Structure 1
Amino acid sequence: MDGMPWRYADHASTSTSTSTSTSVGTVGAAGAVGNPAGAGTAPASAFTAPVPVPLPGTAGPLDTPQPLRSHGCWYPSVDPSGRYVAFICDRGGVPQLWTGPVDGHEVHLLDSDPHPVKEVAWSPDGRWIAYTTAPGGGEHTRVLCVRPDGTGRRVLAGAEPGSSAYLGCWQYDGSAVAVTVAEPVRTPGGAETEERPVPSEPGLADPRTYTTRRPAGWTARDGRAVLLGGPHHGDAAPTARTPGGTAPGGTDTDRVPEAAGVPAERDGGDGDGGRGDGAASKEGGGTGVVGGGLAAYLVDPLGVVAPALLAVERGAATLRVCDISRDGRLALVRRGPRGRREALVVRTGDLRTTFALHVADGDPWIGRFSPDGGTLWLRSDAAREFAALFAVRLDGEGERRGLSVAAERADCGLELLAFGHDGHTAALAWNVRGATELEVVTVDSEGGEARPGPPRNVPLPHEVVTRIPRVGGRAGLVLALSGSQRRPGVWWYSEGSARRTPWSSRDEDAVPPGRPPVRPVPLRPTARDGLPLSGWYYRAPGRAPGVPAPCVIHLHGGPEEQERPVFNPLYHELLGRGLDIFAPDVRGSSGHGRSFVDADLGTGRFAAIEDVADCAAHVVVAGLADPRRLAVMGRSYGGYLVMASLVWHPALFRTGVAACGMSDFATFYAGTEPWIAESAAHKYGHPEHDRELLRELSPMTRVDALRVPVLTVHGEHDTNVPLGESEQFVRAARERGLQAALLMLRDEGHDFLRADSRKLFRRTAADWIERHVAG
């Protein structure tokens, strides 16, 4: 690895602070830590600033042997030289942190721990790589950093039991990284952990007889759930009043709030401006969930300078620092629940919010300050059907001077936004009916109107761009790509041509020899109320045209996810069994405009359940699917739709496979993570105010109508949708004399991340469906 820029001298600290455990300061114009006169400080009950915790080195050898013939590489981050990439790869059986050159074969494993890695960010000065892991595969995450040569590994946030943390942006000089910390949810009298025997091996289990480990605090979450209220952004400092205003063509629902931290009322929601999945607590006698909130800090990886507080949210669903101006005076913060996200401009010197605007769901990296700090570029769908590129002109205090739409398309949304380090080159990824169209533009915000120059279209070897870590510089354009016939990989553009990095999986390794990948075709069903729907149909190889096939209706999660033409090993497992697949976007899915995303709110969820039946009817009427051999399958919200479809339309499907789905909203709210419950309230309904609606929408309410066999699948450590949601549905099915089973995956959470777990899941599910449908 000759010539690798992997060892850097530590910068000298200019701070005289020696405390890293309790100091809470603010960031001044030059980025130094302090507490200027008049700035608010966090109350005594606020979060304790994170302390770096050194860990033993676990770097692996170069070119570690890969037990997986076909692997994925994703979430790349490029070093300052443009020669090397840090990325996530599952070639060792679990998503881990690797580095490698863009044009060489040798790769380096930086963290061999078995904890799945979720995010990666190389520091602008090249000295550190920050990353997020999920210990035990569960939902609680922590932020670590490591030197590019594998030394100096340490936990920056999330080391405290019960806490969770995730990455924000780096400061431009690389001296600190922003992290968001979720304080532990505490129960009066102390959290409890219920330890019970578990099956010795992953596999089918009997929920009437087996027991499993429960997360701390589970037994406290067994009563009525209410959302947390109280102060939100700015409760660590006085808030500033900002003038109201609307986006171009906007309405009052997208007005900049009169008082920072008090968002305008939207959508008839809970009115807290917070989130949508929400915090669960218990009222009345007995123990309950207490607290819940997020705090964002700037953290020095060496721990020499005290962490600097940037933002606090009580009872928050999300809070992420997306960018910091080059002079350190302003921070761009994304907060709020699904469907109600906001971008905030925060003055770091006094923690005052100077600007707020509704922004789109999806990729959390919503924007960037211009090099002079005079313009904020934002990906937003404020008062629009589709997200566009907004240019927000700011004065020296961070107040808004003007706002305009800089780039837009009439029938599709801006999905990803990335900038070069110089701040004058931008990449715009547009979601066009599920596929990506990518263009690179020059942006100029120095005086006058901020607007991009003529776009340059970039041809893509895959259908979908999932991340853009590098725009311009020596490496040119670096992209994470995925497609229907290829494993996720990292590509870079040199001399106008796209090149796959040598350590990304080859196309011919995507599926076993002799079984070619299947390219899906788009379908356009219509719902019974006239709403246009869409989806992708996969035809099993070798089937003669015009012959109706056994078919699986596969439903994505979210609900705001979107079905994309990307490689899915589960689909290829099912196709190899002779099963066709139709993967639709029912109402509530993203990628089709804001109105479509919101069409399932409230009582609209009943229509979303009917959409599943309408999609099944469409493929039957089209002559593609055999009406006597239909199955339904999905994960997370898709798992909920599976259970709902089986009890709302008991004669339509022969069987169902529901992974990590909610079977009863009351028990879901009582058992989920506080920040998940806060965010879910906007999307599904408030557990108290909408109790009767949620009861009617819960599959358990209609479980007597169930008529067919059902398989549920769940991660052992899922605290997003607790394991009990699958247990009670299977138990109820068996009590009614139906065949039902639960596959519990060890060391997994809401997302199945380990290769052996994913393989067990897809083979068990395919066996189940084949047994009940294909014959």
Structure 2
Amino acid sequence: MAADARDHVTDGDRSGRAAHGPAPALRRVDADPATFGAPAWHALARPADARSEDARPADGDTPGEVCAAAPALVLLPEAAGPREAVSRLRAHGCCYPSAGADGAEVAFICDRGGVPQLWAGPVNSAEVRLLDSSPDPVTEVSWSPDGRWIAYTTAPGGGEHSRVLCVRPDGSGRRVLAGADPGSTAYLGCWSHDGSCLAVTVTAPPARTPGEAQGLVPVDRGPADSPLDGALPPAGWADRGGHATLLGASSYDAGTWHGPTAATGTAAGATSAGPTDGTAPAAATVRPDGGLSVYLIDPDGLTSPALLTTETHAATLRACDLSRDGSLVLLRRGPRGRREAVVRRTDDATATFALPVADGDPWIGRFSPDARTLWLRSNADREHAALLAVLLDADGRPEGASDDLLEAPRHTSVVAEREGCDLELLAMAHDGRTAALAWNTRGASELELVETFPAFWGVPARQAPDRTGPARPVPLPHEVVTRVTAAGVGRLLLALSGSQRRPGVWWAHEGVSLLRTPWSSRDEDAVPPGRPPVRPVPLRLTARDGLPLSGWYYRAPGRPSSVPAPCVIHLHGGPEEQERPVLHPLYHELTGRGLDVFAPDVRGSSGHGRSFVDADLGAGRFAALDDVADCAAHIVTTGLADPTRLAVMGRSYGGYLTFASLVWHPDLFRTGVAVCGMSDFLTFFAATEPWLAESAAHKYGHPDRDRELLRSLSPMTRVDALRVPVLAVHGEHDTNVPPEESRQFVRAARERGLAAELLTLRDEGHDFLRADNRRLFRRAAADWMERHLLL
């Protein structure tokens, strides 16, 4: 699609310049004193028609590497749609709202046309408009502070590679800002406060030699016992536009050997290890893994993208906020379970502050208007995330701190906390005076508003870092808040979900009486008439090693409570996700077939404290497998479930647990349905995206250093113990967990004479986003369960 888009560009740019060709290489330059008072990124950017003959890394850049080419702006044909979807779903979901400059209009994601698309409309009118009618699912939305542009992220073809686009509020001027090149991925960061630039994270595909691209040259991927073993990719290898490599593996670049790359544990931003045999030149090299880079991009295309920061071997990297003068950027980086907030100066790329933050929502914090206080949602030195305030000096360092960033925690103050509850979402009003806090209370949400510096407004923030006004609770009509954002002066937008409703968007002025937007589904539209959704009840139990566990139980209607039911244990992904009391169409389908559903949080899940999240690290995963069996034992001994009619099911990490449970506990379950699950950790690490591998290594183990542990934890290692039928479901474009993970398990089951099927969903990746595919998946899974548990 990217190539076609470049061939059919129309001149719709305000500057009158065509958007053909790559953007010029950028160099970081010092801010001119004459520009003081203007946003700092204006000193970084250059006219778009400027060209640099020098591609050398600038001072302050990571030495020994060349940054990937800056993203090129690509104009696209107009794609605004009708005011209503051509084929509208009876019950649709609306989520991820972002308000215009005055808060009167909202851009949001809605699947009323069968796929999540970008829509916009007033908060108090049902008159909405479709801004992009293309079939690519939309995943994130952000309206610029000046109201001129709406930026959004899409997943072309439904896969895992994403791109960032922007469009004007009337649907005109649609263009790709980043991610147009095949194999690259881009996702949203924050806007500058004046709306002139958007921060975008870009992942570049690793370099390949021409011979590799044609499949003619063997690729050295590490030790001799590696699944690839220095040979060509095995059958089933999916060419995704960019090689995924084992962590710490070797690579070629244009035929030149550059030695092993840095392994996990290398400091963020550190360069890859150099050559060890003296054959490679000392000149800069292209990053083998492509790395992650954050650029500031002018959506009008008047200036070239400005590089804020780049990191090799990065698991995640997102710009969450820019100070109002543009001198500081707040970044979120790090692998799962080890995220951190980093403050970096934009003029010289110096990191001035770092602090651990919790997993979950990537929007971790914000600077105060004067940038002298940083508000963060963090679980540093804590079991549960709280609201912290960090005092900063004029250079962005914690006040009174030495140069040692490890001292940062002592310069923080806890300004809002709840015993046993995580601060899940943090949103700040545009003027910085009010914070909206969403707390996770045993899976449900509680929302409150607090004033920041209430008695000291007008006094420098550093004089009152730990003062907030009294909390004002905001009553919620449904159980879970998935997003909070400011919308003009005194107005909030909330994305809500619950056990009896489809996701929708609500708004409130000054935090009183939430009102449903007219374009969100009504509660009575959640499911077809005559069969209301089942409201789940919480269950608590204790694992065999004494760890408290919990979950939600969905009882199929029509069966007496005294009669044990056939039951499906459903395991969520992550593993850092959490079961929430929201409407699950899959659960509704299963309960409608007469099957109960128990959805537990086994160890490793979020929402229960940091120790619970870390309880499955490394060899702790064996205990997580025992948790699944303990959950089954609990619902049987309490009389809820029939021990002879149990099944296990899950998606992503839950798909792995499904495969694993069937071979670790072969006599416990009658069948299983594994969705996008890993069946062999070593083949998973060999084939997943490099940045995902970096993130997963902390959770599961390193594929080189911990090979034996990963081998022993892999379901394929014990597949001979499989005794029951299995259904695997996978998206054809999944590059997070490649489809071969399902194929090899199904193939092994069939070789052992067992019934095993694989359902591959077209135009889907790791998440199933299209209505027809979601419906097909639910019905196929329910048919399979009904066949093996009821007939």
Q: Structure 2-normalised TM-score?
A: 0.85
The reply to whether residue 214 of structure 1 matches residue 234 of structure 2 is no
- Structure 2 unaligned regions, length at least 5: 1-11, 46-56, 216-234, 252-262, 273-285, 400-410, 454-459
Q: Which residue of 2 aligns with 1:383?
A: 381
1:262 aligned partner: none
RMSD: 2.6
Larger RCO (alpha carbons 8 Å, 6+ apart): 1
Question: C-alpha displacement at 1:190, in angstroms?
Answer: 5.6
Q: Distance in 1 between matches of 2:236 and 2:287?
A: 22
Counterpart for residue 749 of structure 1: 765
**Structure 2 equivalent of residue 188 of structure 1:** 209
Aligned partner of 2:110 among 73, 85, 89: 89
Equivalent residue, structure 2, for 1:121: 142
The residue that corresponds to 2:672 in the other structure is 656
User: Partner residue of 1:23?
Assistant: 26
Once the 2 structures are TM-superposed, how far is the Cα of residue 34 of structure 1 from its aligned partner?
Answer: 3.0
Map 1:663-674 → 2, pairs under 5 A: 663-674=679-690
Amino acid at match of 1:431: N
Cα contact 1:24–1:49 (8 A) shared by 2: no
Partner of 2:430: 421
TM-superposed deviation, 1:228: 8.5
Following superposition, the deviation at residue 217 of structure 1 comes to: 5.8
Structure 2 residue aligned with 1:639, among 655, 666, 674? Answer: 655
Q: Which amino acid aligns with 1:697?
A: L
Shift of 1:27: 8.1
Q: Which amino acid aligns with 2:132?
A: D
Question: Counterpart of 1:358?
Answer: 356
Distance 1:10-1:665 versus aligned 2 partners, 3 A rule: closer
Matches within 5 A, 1:281-300: 290-300=288-298
How much does 1:525 deviate? 1.3
- Counterpart contact for 1:24–1:307, Cα < 8 Å: no
Q: Paired residue for 2:177, among 129, 153, 156?
A: 156
CA offset digits 1:695-745 (Å, max 9, x no partner) = 000000000000000000000000100110000000000000000000000
Tell me which moved more, 394-403 or 733-742. 394-403
Q: Secondary structure at the match of 2:674?
A: strand
404-413 vs 638-647, which moves further:
404-413
**Cα separation, 2, equivalents of 1:35 and 1:301:** 16
CA distance in 2, matches of 1:473, 1:543: 51
Whether 1:142 aligns to 2:191 is no
* CA deviation map 1:341-397 (0-9, x unaligned): 110111111110000001110000000000011000000000100001110000000
Deviation at 1:42, TM superposition (A): 6.5
- 5 Å matches for 1:593-612? 593-612=609-628
* Distance in 2 of aligned mates of 1:375 and 1:522: 40
Q: Residue 438 of structure 1 aligns with which residue?
A: 447
Give the drift of 1:659.
0.4
2: CA distance, partners of 1:33 / 1:183: 25
| Map of 2:398 onto structure 1 | 400
How far apart, in 2, do the equivalents of 1:725 and 1:703 lie? 13
- Structure 1 segments, 4+ long, off by >4 Å, are 9-13, 26-29, 35-39, 41-44, 190-194
CA contact (8 A) 1:144 1:155 kept: yes
Equivalent position of 2:125 in the other structure:
104
CA contact (8 A) 1:78 1:470 kept: yes
Deviations 1:422-474 (A, max 9, x none): 11111000000000010001002634122221000000011000001226616
Q: Structure 1 residues 511 and 228 mapped into 2: Cα distance closer, same or farther (>3 Å)?
A: farther
Quick one: distance in 2 between partners of 1:332 and 1:724? 38
Instruction: Indicate how the Cα distance of structure 1 residues 163 and 461 shifts in structure 2: closer, same or farther if over 3 A, else same.
Output: same
Code of the aligned partner of 2:104: R
Number of residue pairs the alignment of both structures matches: 696
Cα offset, 1:65, TM superposition: 4.2
| AA of the residue aligned to 1:485 | Q
Corresponding residue SS for 2:654? helix
Identity of aligned residues (%): 69
1:66: how far off?
Answer: 4.5
User: Counterpart of 2:639 in 1: which secondary structure?
Assistant: coil
Q: 1:303 to 1:412 in 2, by over 3 A?
A: same
Residues 1:46 and 2:50 aligned together: no
Conserved 8 A contact 1:339-1:360: yes
* 1:85-132 deviation digits (Å, cap 9, x = unpaired): 000011101110000110000110000111000100000000000000
Contact 1:33–1:306, Cα closer than 8 Å, also in 2? no
Counterparts in 2 of 1:115 and 1:224: CA distance versus 1, 3 Å: closer
Partners of 1:330 and 1:580 lie apart in 2 by 52
Change (3 A) 1:591 1:380: same
Change in 2 beyond 3 A, CA 1:385/1:106: same
Q: Give CA deviations for 1:153-206 in whole Å, capped at 9, x if unaligned.
A: 000001111111000000000000000000112333366489xxxxxxxxxxxx
Q: CA deviation at 1:303?
A: 1.2
1:11 Cα deviation after fit: 10
The whole-number CA distance in structure 1 between the counterparts of 2:149 and 2:94 is 20
User: 3-state DSSP class of the match of 1:23?
Assistant: coil
User: Secondary structure of 1:112's partner?
Assistant: coil
What residue is the counterpart of 2:94 in the other structure?
A: 73
Equivalence for 2:545? 529
Partner of residue 483, structure 1: 498
The residue identity in structure 2 corresponding to 1:156 is L
Return the offset for 1:38: 8.9
CA deviations on 1:668-689 (whole Å, 9 max, x unpaired) are 0111110111111000000010
Per-residue CA distance 1:289-311 (angstroms, 9 max, x = gap): 93330000110001111211111
Cα deviation for residue 24 of structure 1 reads: 3.6
Give the whole-Å Cα distance in 2 for the aligned partners of 1:158 and 1:78: 25
Question: Following the alignment from structure 1 to structure 2, what is the Cα–Cα distance between the partners of residues 757 and 745?
Answer: 7
In structure 1, the residue matched to 2:48 is none
Match of 1:56 among 77, 89, 102: 77
* Contact in 2 for aligned 1:387/1:415 (Cα 8 Å): yes
Q: TM-score, normalised by structure 1?
A: 0.86
Query: One-letter code of the match for 2:705?
Result: H
Instruction: Find the counterpart in structure 2 of residue 559 from structure 1.
Output: 575
Please give the per-residue CA displacement for 1:610-641, whole angstroms capped at 9, x wherever unaligned: 00000011011111000010000000000000
| Secondary structure at the counterpart of residue 487 of structure 1 | strand
Check the 8 A contact 2:108/2:120 in 1, yes or no: yes
Q: What amino acid is aligned across from residue 599 of structure 2 in structure 1?
A: A
300-309 vs 487-496, which deviates more? Answer: 487-496
**Residues 191 and 514 of structure 1: is their aligned pair in 2 closer, same or farther, counting only changes over 3 Å?**
farther
CA distance in 2, matches of 1:521, 1:66: 36
**Residue deviations 1:522-573, cap 9 Å, x none?**
0001100010000000001111111100000000000000000011100100
Structure 2: distance between partners of 1:26 and 1:165: 24
Q: Secondary structure at the match of 2:131?
A: strand
Pairing partner for 2:735 from 719, 738, 743: 719
For residue 49 of structure 1, report the CA deviation from its aligned partner. 1.4
Amino acid corresponding to residue 359 of structure 2 in structure 1: D
1:480–1:489 CA contact under 8 A, matched in 2:
yes
Structure 2 vs 1, CA of residues 228 and 99 (structure 1 numbering), >3 Å: closer, same or farther?
farther
Aligned to 1:325: 323
Q: In the alignment, which residue of structure 1 is the partner of 2:584?
A: 568
Tell me the distance in 1 between the aligned counterparts of 2:385 and 2:687: 34
Which amino acid in structure 2 is aligned with residue 75 of structure 1? Y
> Which amino acid in the other structure matches residue 397 of structure 1?
D
**Counterpart of 2:165 in 1: which secondary structure?**
strand
8 Å CA contact 2:391–2:462 kept in 1: the answer is: no
Query: What is aligned with 1:285?
Result: none
Structure 1 residue 80: Cα displacement: 1.1
Q: Which residue identity lines up with residue 151 of structure 1 in the other structure?
A: S
Distance 2:169 2:315 in 1: 32
Return the alpha-carbon distance in structure 2 between the equivalents of residues 763 and 116 of structure 1: 22
Alignment of 1:691-702 (within 5 A): 691-702=707-718
How far, CA to CA, are the matches of 1:770 and 1:639 in structure 2?
19
Q: Distance in 1 between matches of 2:322 and 2:595?
A: 50
